[in-house]
Structure 1
Amino acid sequence: MMNYRWGGYLLIALGLINLRYQTGHENVLQHSLIIIVPGALVLLATWIKPLNGFMAEKTTKYAALVIGLLLVAYAAING
């Protein structure tokens, strides 16, 4: 679960950094929320006990990794 939390914190931080450094650009809030919301959902899911089994599955780990990497790339390219 710790790796999920780190990933969630990473996405939230990248979204907030994106929000700050793109102030004044069109649709900046929308672009930042695309990064922040999944991070917050992953972080929240780590504290919900019934989701522990689902998040421990190998396919879920790979899907979270791919989506997380795509969001990090989006944050870098979007800037």
Structure 2
Amino acid sequence: METIIMNMRWAGYLLIAIGLINWRYQNSFEKGAPIWIFGLLLIAGTFVPAVAKRLTSKFGIAVVALAVAALLVVAFAA
């Protein structure tokens, strides 16, 4: 469980960095903000025990993985 939480935190840090880079270089809040906001929410969620328990379920892992992958595609396709 702890490894999954750490991986989710790293994914959150990745989304924050990519979101801020997109925001800076594309000069568009609409393109960068959803990426780094989801990253912040993901990191915050891993520190709340009730949310972390939901995130570490099989369904939670799948949802987070799909959301992170979709946001990365949006970041690099925009």
TM-score w.r.t. the length of structure 1 is 0.88
User: 1:46 is paired with a residue of what secondary structure?
Assistant: helix
Where do 4+ consecutive residues of structure 1 move more than 3 Å? none
Give 1:76's aligned residue: 76
Count of paired positions: 74
Q: In percent, how many aligned pairs have the same letter?
A: 32
- The gaps in structure 2 that reach 5 residues or longer are none
- The gaps in structure 1 that reach 5 residues or longer are none
* RMSD between superposed Cα atoms in Å: 0.8
Distance 1:52 1:68 in 2: 16
Instruction: Compare relative contact order (CA 8 Å, sep 6+) and give the higher one, 1 or 2.
Output: 1
Give 2:16's aligned residue: 12
User: 2:34 is paired with a residue of what secondary structure?
Assistant: helix
Tell me which of 18, 21, 26 is aligned to 1:22.
Answer: 26
Q: Structure 1 residue 33: deviation in Å?
A: 0.7
Distance 2:76 2:11 in 1: 16
TM-score w.r.t. the length of structure 2 is 0.89
Tell me which of 3, 6, 11 is aligned to 2:7.
Answer: 3
Q: Structure 1 residue 21: deviation in Å?
A: 1.2
Greater per-residue helix proportion: 2
